């Protein structure tokens, strides 16, 4: 099928013989029109002619192919049917349409999909590792705070004591613990005093009075619970899955490196003669050697996080049906209420100080 020369005018193409449209001839199109149009739109973001694009892909050139370009190329990898269609057409490359020339010149790079995936992993590595490690660390820190904070244990102990005192004449008056889903209600339960106060505020006052550090210990606890608020914004499943995918992707990169390392010299020579030296091994080998210990460390941190989640769930005797997302959400609500109560207490102290100053 012959394309309208104006439809392909101005698009990039291979160096050497100019494309048919540049010579005023009709280009031969073979692909589905919709597919060809989509390729043209996506490839317009990759500012390279096809010969340079092929050399950059073979050379694993991150300067010529930034992440946006690699992601664009990943959307354009030809299918086996498209490769066969163009290869068997018997049409000179220069006479092909834009999409067909991409298939002929770039699509024929051996193992193009896997090569581009390796290149994308290399380019995304630092950002992805940092994001995964931060999320894993946030969840682990939250578990550590809830299980190990002496300030939190003191506050929970005072809260249990108050609850037993209030329920002294009922069967609830000798409880040995309480469920964490009761925590957010502490700020809602009001006393009969004048002015009325919340049960949480009363618990804080007793806790401050019982501690040598006073209110400073509670201020420190509010800061510690910031890690729980951070964990509550995350999905535990997504954190584990994302870290797992990142770790698994390195295994795929290593597999591809192993495949190319076993390739014969004749294959490398053929690649060099057919559009540039193949530098995949040269680029990926030092990369894998340098990042593998860091990924293994992330793997260990992920396992520790998952163990901490199980231990925290058991530590607070949560029901099996309670998800960690719901668990952390309760604690995040409580942390916000604690901060509000402390702010109210501080404001009250300032007002009392002002009254005393005026009376003086």
188-247 pLDDT, tens digit per residue, is: 877 766 566 788 888 888 888 888 888 999 999 999 999 999 999 999 999 999 999 999
**How much is the mean pLDDT over the chain?**
85
Q: For residues 324 and 194, which has the higher predicted lDDT (pLDDT)?
A: 324
- Token duo for residue 314: 């058991």
- Token duo for residue 176: 């040995």
- Token duo for residue 285: 């080998």
Strand partners, 198: 190
Using CA atoms, how far apart are residues 152 and 145, in angstroms rounded to an integer?
8
- Token duo for residue 23: 């010579």
Using CA atoms, how far apart are residues 285 and 254, in angstroms rounded to an integer?
8
- The mean pLDDT value for 345-359 works out to 62
At residue 270, does pLDDT exceed 60?
Answer: no
- The mean pLDDT value for 89-107 works out to 94
Global pTM reads: 0.78
For residue 7, name the pLDDT band (cuts at 50, 70, 90): very low
For residue 9, name the pLDDT band (cuts at 50, 70, 90): very low
pLDDT of 6 reads 36
Question: Residue 79's CB: how many other CB atoms inside 10 A?
Answer: 12
- The mean pLDDT value for 340-350 works out to 77
At residue 64, does pLDDT exceed 90?
Answer: yes
pLDDT of 360 reads 59
Residues 6 or more apart whose CB falls under 8 angstroms from that of 33 comprise: none
Burial 90-124 (b: 16+ CB within 10 A, else e): ebebbbbbbbbbbbbbbbebeebebbbbbbbbbbb
- The mean pLDDT value for 165-187 works out to 78
pLDDT of 68 reads 96
């Amino acid at each position: 099928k012959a394309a309208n020369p104006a439809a392909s005018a101005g698009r990039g193409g291979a160096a050497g013989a100019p494309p048919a449209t540049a010579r005023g001839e009709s280009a031969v199109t073979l692909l589905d029109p919709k597919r060809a149009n989509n390729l043209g739109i996506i490839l317009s973001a990759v500012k390279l002619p096809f010969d340079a694009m092929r050399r950059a892909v073979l050379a694993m050139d991150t300067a010529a192919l930034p992440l946006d370009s690699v992601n664009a190329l990943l959307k354009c990898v030809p299918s086996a049917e498209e490769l066969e269609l163009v290869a068997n057409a018997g049409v000179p490359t220069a006479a092909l349409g834009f999409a067909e020339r991409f298939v002929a010149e770039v699509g024929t790079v051996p193992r193009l999909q896997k090569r581009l995936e390796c290149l994308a992993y290399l380019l995304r590595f630092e950002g992805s590792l940092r994001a995964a490690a931060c999320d894993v660390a946030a969840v682990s820190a939250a578990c550590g705070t809830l299980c190990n904070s002496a300030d939190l244990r003191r506050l929970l102990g005072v809260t249990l004591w108050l609850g037993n005192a209030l329920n002294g004449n009922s069967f609830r008056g000798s409880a040995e613990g309480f469920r964490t889903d009761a925590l957010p209600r502490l700020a809602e339960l009001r006393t009969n005093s004048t002015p009325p106060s919340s049960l949480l505020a009363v618990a804080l006052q007793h806790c401050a009075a019982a501690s040598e550090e006073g209110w400073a210990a509670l201020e420190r606890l509010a800061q510690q619970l910031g890690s729980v608020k951070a964990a509550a914004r995350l999905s535990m499943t997504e954190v584990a899955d994302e870290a797992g995918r990142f770790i698994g992707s390195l295994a795929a990169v290593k597999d591809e490196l192993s495949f190319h390392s076993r390739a014969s010299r004749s294959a490398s020579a053929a690649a060099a003669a057919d559009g540039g030296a193949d530098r995949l091994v040269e680029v990926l080998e030092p990369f894998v050697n340098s990042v593998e210990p860091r990924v293994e460390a992330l793997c260990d941190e992920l396992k520790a996080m998952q163990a901490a989640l199980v231990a925290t769930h058991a530590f607070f005797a949560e029901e099996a049906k309670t998800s960690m997302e719901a668990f952390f959400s309760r604690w995040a609500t409580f942390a916000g209420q604690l901060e509000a109560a402390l702010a109210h207490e501080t404001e009250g102290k300032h007002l009392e100080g002002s009254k005393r100053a005026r009376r003086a």
